[in-house]
Amino acid sequence: MKTSDFYYDLPQELIAQDPLEDRSSSRLLVLHRETGEWEHRSFRDILEYLHPGDCLVVNDTKVIPARLMGEKEGTGAGIEVLLLKRREGNPGETVWETLVKPGKKARPGARILFGGGILTGEVLEVVEEGNRLIRFTYEGIFEEILDQLGQMPLPPYITHQLKDKNRYQTVYAKHEGSAAAPTAGLHFTPELLEEIQKKGVKLAHVTLHVGLGTFRPVKVEEVTEHHMHTEFYVVEEEEARVINETKASGGRVICVGTTSCRTLESAAEADGTLRAGSGWTDIFIYPGYEFKILDGLITNFHLPESTLLMLVSALCGQERILAAYEEAVRQRYRFFSFGDAMLIQ
C-alpha cells in the first residue's frame, strides 16, 4: 500500500482560512459505507442521521495557546517556540518538549526571554526529530502566563490571523493540553448538542490531547513503514460505561473526529468492549484495520496522503473516500480545519 494511493488534487482556494460565523452552518457530505452513495446536506441536518439509543463520542481536549514568540538572551534574535508535550512540572518551573524555529539559535544552554522576561526558557537538550527540551521558569501560574503571552497554534495551511481564540476550541473543550483542535467538533453549538440529547442520543466524553504529529506528512513510500507520534488519552469509568451500554443494547457509537475514534480503538478490548483508563497511544489506522467499537464517524476533509485520510479510508474504503473527495472538490466544499464536514455511516 503506497502513500501515493491516498493522493487527490485540491485547489488551493478550497482550503478554508476562516471559521464560519455560525458553527453549525457548515455543509455536510453524508457518505453511506455500504453503497458508496452520498448526499449533500447542511451540518444542522446531522439530527436526521442520529437515532435514539445512539451514542455520540466527543473529544473534550482544550487547545492551549502553545505558540510563543521570544528573544534569545544576549542577542535579541527572534525565536518561535511551540509547546508539544509537558514532560515535568514543579512550582515555578516546568519542562516541555518543543518545536523551535530557527533551531540553530536554540542550542543546549541557550536562554530565551518571553514577554520581556515574564517567562524564561532554557534549552536543556535536543531530542527526537530536532525537538528541544526547554525548562521554563516563571512567577505565578504557568497557564495564566501562557494565556497572556501565547498564540493559538493554527495549522500551517491557515495563513489568516484568528480574531477570536475561542473559534479554534470546541464548545465542550475542558481539559487543557492540545497543540491542535479536534476540528470535527467545531461544527457543534450548545443548542445543537441539546437537540441531539433531547432526541435520545447519549453524549460521551473522552480526552485525547492532539499533538502536531497530526499535521506531519507521511514521508515513507510504504504506508506500513510510517511511525505515528504518541498522544495522551483518558477514558473515564462513567464514559466507558455509557459507550459499552450503547453497544450492548444495539445502539451505534458515532465518533466526532478521528481523535475520538483513535481513543476508543486504542482503549478497546479484543471483544469490542471499551476499557476505562489512560495512557499513550500511537495507534495507526489504515485500510485493513478492523474497527472494534466505532460504527460511524463525523469528520472534516483531510490533507492528501495524510494519516487521517488513511483512517477514513479504513472505515469506508479508499476508492469510495477518494470518489467522495472528488465530489466535494467539484461541489466546492471548504476543506481542512475550518472547513465543511462529512458523516460516514
Reported as a single tens digit per residue, the pLDDT across 57-86 is 999 999 999 999 999 998 999 999 999 888
Q: For residue 47, which phi and psi values (nearest 5 degrees)? A: -55, -40
Give the bridge partners for 14, in sequence order. none
Question: Which CA distances in Å does 255 have to 167, 263, 307, 322?
Answer: 21, 10, 17, 21
Task: Band the pLDDT of 342: cuts 50, 70, 90.
Answer: very high
SS3 76: coil
For residue 5, count CB atoms less than 10 angstroms from its CB and return exposed for 0-12, middle for 13-18, buried for 19 or more.
middle
For 259-311, how does the pLDDT look when each residue is reduced to its tens digit (9 = 90+)? 999 999 999 999 999 999 999 999 999 999 999 999 999 999 999 999 999 99
Judged by average pLDDT, the poorest of 98-107, 110-119, 287-296 is 98-107
Percent of the chain with pLDDT over 70: 99
At 215 the pLDDT is: 67
Query: What is the predicted pLDDT for the residue at 90?
Result: 84
| pLDDT: which is higher, 38 or 179 | 38
pLDDT of 229 reads 85
Strand, helix or coil at 63? Answer: strand
State the helix-helix crossing angle for 307-316 and 318-330, rounded to 10 degrees. 110
Q: Cα 119 to the chain's mean position, in Å?
A: 28
213: confidence class by pLDDT, cuts 50, 70, 90: confident
pLDDT of residue 255: 98
**pLDDT for 201:** 98
pLDDT value at residue 212:
74
Instruction: Read off the C-alpha cell for 55.
Output: 451514542
pLDDT at 324 over 70: yes
Please state, rounded to an integer, the average pLDDT across all residues of the chain: 94
Q: What is the pLDDT of residue 88?
A: 87
Q: Return the amino acid letter for 163.
A: K
In 3D space, the residue among 171, 229, 234 whose CA is nearest the CA of residue 207 turns out to be: 234
Is 157 a residue whose pLDDT tops 90? Answer: no
Q: Which of 194-203, 212-221, 271-280 comes out lowest in average pLDDT?
A: 212-221
